[in-house]
């Protein structure tokens, strides 16, 4: 079993977070970004999401092995109590409880900050992500068919929801 600690992310984690995220951008449709963001953009995101929502990293052997954060779900005022959540775990560290632990830290913090509902977008098919989210108490809320195009293919996105 992997031993890891959880802590709030800081801008100094941006390069490690980028390294975890890059394969998902370059090799999979899991992220709909088509170019890996530069380190300064990752730093900006960390600071932004920390200030408005929450952002955590998992550390094992002094290395970031996963991260999770909350961000704006939609921009209109009535959506303010809702948040979109994300979790990524390094490919060689998956299925070790890191994602579940990150959500166990993130979701209560978002509730403390006044958020009411958390939403997770999952590019389908992705049984590992669905299992993680359902283990964290999310339920399927709906699917947008062929909503994104990456690698010359259309991709469906399922939405999972959890009331906080």
Task: In whole angstroms, give the CA distance from residue 87 to residue 106.
Answer: 10
Q: Are 89 and 79 in contact (CB under 8 A)?
A: no
In the prediction, which pLDDT does 3 show? 79
Look over the chain and give the mean of its residue pLDDT values, rounded to a whole number: 96
Task: Tell me how crowded residue 153 is: count the other CB atoms within 10 A of its CB.
Answer: 9
Return the ∠ at Cα 162 (arms to 145 and 33), rounded to 5°: 45
Q: What percent of the chain has pLDDT over 70?
A: 99
* Position 2 confidence tier, pLDDT thresholds 50, 70, 90: low
pTM of the model: 0.94
Q: Are 49 and 87 in contact (CB under 8 A)?
A: no
Mean pLDDT of 22-28: 98
* Cα–Cα separations (whole angstroms), residue 122 to 13, 53, 99, 128, 158: 24, 20, 14, 10, 5
């Amino acid at each position: 079993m992997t031993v890891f600690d959880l802590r709030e992310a800081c801008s100094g984690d941006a390069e490690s977070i980028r390294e975890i995220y890059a394969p998902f951008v370059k090799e999979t449709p899991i992220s709909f970004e088509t170019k890996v963001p530069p380190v300064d953009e990752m730093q900006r995101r960390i600071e932004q999401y920390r200030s408005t929502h929450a952002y955590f990293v998992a550390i094992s052997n002094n290395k970031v092995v996963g991260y999770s954060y909350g961000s704006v779900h939609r921009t209109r005022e009535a959506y303010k109590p809702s948040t979109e959540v994300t979790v990524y775990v390094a490919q060689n560290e998956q299925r070790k409880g890191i994602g579940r632990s990150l959500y166990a830290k993130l979701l209560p913090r978002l509730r403390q900050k006044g958020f009411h509902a958390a939403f997770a977008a999952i590019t389908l098919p992705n049984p590992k992500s669905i299992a993680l989210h359902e283990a964290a108490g999310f339920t399927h809320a709906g699917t947008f068919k062929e909503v994104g195009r990456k690698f010359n293919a259309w991709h469906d996105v399922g939405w999972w929801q959890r009331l906080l």
